């Protein structure tokens, strides 16, 4: 079979349906480019509702045999997939850098996090077990089991095209379901290569399928009767739309949305360490992370000292092509997104923020066609400014002083988002209060970016998440199965 190394990448990517690579029938497409160079990479076709219907029918047929296989047999292709992903990790990381713009180190880290989810799902024989009780009533034994449900779909964003599909795929199939992925149309090449490896891993045809497309493809999945449940990761307005439409159609749904994350720095914190971690959190992946902590609330007694440390750390960042090993901050996904970030900075300045460090004039040698921004640090950012309220998704850091940790928590909790927050402190009492009072799903203490390992769920509260069962770990087993109770009496003959 052709791999992306052997085909011209400016050719159209294809769907993977019933074990075959096929071009969708839908009209329209989008051409993607390397964000660091502007080089054309791929044409992404939009799957129509007929394309969705064919794939869902195939998935439902495949479910019959797949769900009846012994669980040990279902996890063998996952072991194979893990080793294929590891063997091809460097190749996948390079594709990811060219397609998305992040650095090689970030791409390798992302893939590692994806592989962890495959590893966790290989433990399904233990994780999926129910419970049993002898003599629950006179001569009656009772037991609970988990059963797979049918076909599930995941719709994923551009910022982690290697990891986020793996928050779902391994658990869906290990529990006995069929699975469809609709990846972001902005960087389709890693999902495409991932599915070439899925093809090699030995899943029966139709159990795991890939559909490229845009909003119409998503809506066709949300409306299809043959889809049992939807996992979504992306921006808040689309997460809300997906949650409402899928629920209206009677589906299970988990929809993770956008974010506005805070760092709180107390007087007792190790300020140098906190500054290093804060700049990394806000600027890694060019700030295009739902866990980027970009509003920094600093105890007023250390505001000036900490601001100097942030500026020095920001100054140390090298902006460039992610393939260059010296690069700390890679390219922004698109011209349009770069312009959106510039507009947010402009608005902040109009609203009265102070420009402490300006990354807007950065240039990168040999990358004239690329989209780049250096770290931009804004001071005196008040709670009512847009930069404090809205997700920027770029390397922009907003600083303000607070009188106490209670003020910081109050300001943080006023946000409509609740994805992540970090506290830097040497005080156990402050740490306890922060953990207890923060209305936030992923909380870090002396940790810059609170990204949970695969064996824990990925948090997210308020408008950062719609649903109740989150991505990763045990929550996925609950999402992908329903429970049944067996109550049995076997009288002696
Ligand atoms: P996006 O919402 O634009 O797109 C996500 C997916 O939705 C894509 O597959 C896209 O094709 C589809 N989509 C886009 N518009 C649609 C519409 N009108 N109708 C139906 N489907 C539509 O998000 P993005 O720009 O790709 O990703 C960035 C966003 O994702 C940020 O807001 C970020 O915070 C969020 N994100 C959240 C998490 C989390 O765990 N909470 C993780 C990663 C990213």
Please give the Cα distance from 182 to 230 (Å, whole number): 11
Q: Model confidence over 79-105: pLDDT tens digits?
A: 999 999 999 999 999 999 999 999 999
Asked whether the predicted pLDDT for residue 423 surpasses 60, the reply is: yes
Task: Using the mean position of ligand 1's atoms as its centre, give its distance from the Cα of residue 260 in Å.
Answer: 15
| pLDDT-derived band at 331, boundaries 50, 70, 90 | very high
Nearest CA to 195 out of 455, 473, 476, 2 is that of: 2
Task: Using the mean position of ligand 1's atoms as its centre, give its distance from the Cα of residue 105 in Å.
Answer: 23
All domains of the chain in start order, with CATH = 4-257+464-486 (3.40.605.10), 261-445 (3.40.309.10)
Q: What is the pTM of this model?
A: 0.97
| pLDDT-derived band at 493, boundaries 50, 70, 90 | confident
Task: Using the mean position of ligand 1's atoms as its centre, give its distance from the Cα of residue 162 in Å.
Answer: 15
**Between the CA of residue 373 and those of 287, 370, 396, 420, what are the distances in Å?**
10, 10, 9, 24
Q: Which pLDDT score, from 0 to 100, does residue 32 have?
A: 96
**For 251, how many CA atoms within 13 A lie in the half-sphere containing its CB?**
27
Please give the Cα distance from 463 to 453 (Å, whole number): 22
Asked whether the predicted pLDDT for residue 7 surpasses 70, the reply is: no
| 19 Cβ neighbours under 8 A, 6+ residues apart | 199, 204, 205, 206
Q: Which pLDDT score, from 0 to 100, does residue 456 have?
A: 97
Q: Model confidence over 122-142: pLDDT tens digits?
A: 999 999 999 999 999 999 999
Give the chain's mean pLDDT: 96
Q: Tell which atom from ligand 1 comes closest to the C-alpha of 465.
A: 41
Q: Which pLDDT score, from 0 to 100, does residue 12 have?
A: 78
ipTM of the complex in this document: 0.99
Name which of 8-12, 18-22, 251-255, 286-290 the model is least confident about. 8-12
Q: Which pLDDT score, from 0 to 100, does residue 242 have?
A: 98
396 in helix, strand or coil? strand
239 lines ligand 1 (CB under 6 A): no
Q: Are 174 and 121 in contact, with CB atoms under 8 Å apart? A: yes
Q: Are 166 and 197 in contact, with CB atoms under 8 Å apart? A: no
Q: Which pLDDT score, from 0 to 100, does residue 104 have?
A: 98
Q: Which pLDDT score, from 0 to 100, does residue 490 have?
A: 94
Determine how many CB atoms are found less than 10 A away from the CB of residue 278. Answer: 27
Q: Element (H or E) spanning 88, and its range?
A: none
419 lines ligand 1 (CB under 6 A): yes
Please give the Cα distance from 225 to 480 (Å, whole number): 17
Please give the Cα distance from 306 to 104 (Å, whole number): 30
Best of 180, 190, 234, 341 for a ligand 1 pocket test (most atoms within 8 Å of beta carbon): 234
Q: Model confidence over 228-269: pLDDT tens digits?
A: 999 999 999 999 999 999 999 999 999 999 999 999 999 999
283 annotated active-site = no
Nearest CA to 44 out of 180, 217, 236 is that of: 217
Task: Using the mean position of ligand 1's atoms as its centre, give its distance from the Cα of residue 5 in Å.
Answer: 28
459 lines ligand 1 (CB under 6 A): no
pLDDT above 90 covers a percentage of the chain that reads 96
């Amino acid at each position: 079979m052709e791999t992306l190394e052997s085909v011209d990448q400016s050719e159209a990517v294809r769907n993977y349906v019933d074990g075959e690579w096929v071009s969708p029938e839908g009209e329209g497409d989008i051409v993607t480019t390397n964000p660091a160079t502007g080089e054309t990479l791929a044409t992404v076709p939009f799957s129509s509702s007929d394309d969705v219907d064919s794939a869902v029918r195939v998935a439902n047929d495949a479910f019959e045999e797949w769900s009846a296989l012994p669980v040990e047999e279902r996890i063998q292709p996952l072991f194979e997939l893990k080793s294929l992903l590891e063997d091809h990790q460097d190749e996948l990381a390079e594709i990811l850098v060219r397609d998305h713009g992040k650095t090689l180190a970030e791409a390798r880290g992302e893939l590692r996090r994806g592989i962890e989810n495959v590893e966790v799902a290989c433990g399904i024989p233990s994780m999926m077990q129910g419970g049993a009780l002898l003599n629950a009533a006179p001569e009656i034994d009772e037991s609970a089991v988990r059963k797979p449900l049918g076909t599930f779909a995941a719709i994923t964003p551009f910022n982690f095209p290697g990891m986020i599909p793996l928050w779902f795929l391994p658990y869906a199939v290990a529990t006995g379901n069929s699975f469809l992925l609709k990846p972001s149309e902005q960087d389709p090449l890693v999902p495409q290569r991932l599915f070439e490896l899925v093809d090699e891993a030995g899943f029966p045809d139709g159990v795991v399928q890939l559909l490229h497309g845009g909003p119409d493809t998503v809506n066709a999945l949300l409306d299809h009767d043959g889809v049992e449940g939807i996992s979504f990761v992306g921006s808040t307005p689309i997460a809300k739309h997906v949650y409402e439409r899928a629920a209206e159609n009677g589906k299970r749904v988990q929809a993770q949305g956008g974010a506005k994350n805070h760092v709180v720095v107390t007087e007792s914190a190790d300020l140098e360490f906190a500054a290093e971690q804060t700049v990394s959190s806000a600027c890694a992946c060019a700030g295009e992370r739902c866990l980027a902590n970009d509003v920094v609330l600093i105890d007023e007694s250390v505001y000036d000292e900490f601001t100097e440390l942030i500026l020095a750390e920001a100054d140390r960042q090298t902006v460039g092509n992610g393939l260059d090993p010296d690069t700390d901050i890679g390219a922004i996904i698109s011209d349009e997104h770069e312009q959106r970030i510039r507009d947010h900075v402009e608005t902040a300045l109009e609203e009265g923020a102070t420009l402490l460090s300006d990354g807007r004039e950065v240039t990168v040698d040999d990358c004239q066609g690329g989209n780049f921004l250096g770290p931009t640090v804004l001071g005196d950012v008040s709670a009512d400014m847009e930069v404090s309220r809205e997700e920027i998704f770029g390397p922009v850091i907003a600083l303000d002083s607070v009188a106490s940790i209670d003020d910081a928590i109050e300001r943080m909790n006023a946000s409509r988002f609740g994805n992540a927050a970090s506290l830097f402190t040497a005080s156990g009492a402050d740490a306890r209060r922060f953990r207890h009072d923060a209305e936030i799903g992923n909380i870090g203490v002396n940790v810059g970016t609170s990204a949970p390992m695969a064996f824990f769920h990925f948090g997210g509260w308020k408008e950062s998440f719609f649903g109740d069962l989150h991505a990763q770990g045990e929550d996925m087993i609950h999402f992908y199965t329903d429970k049944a109770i067996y109550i049995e009496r076997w009288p002696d003959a």
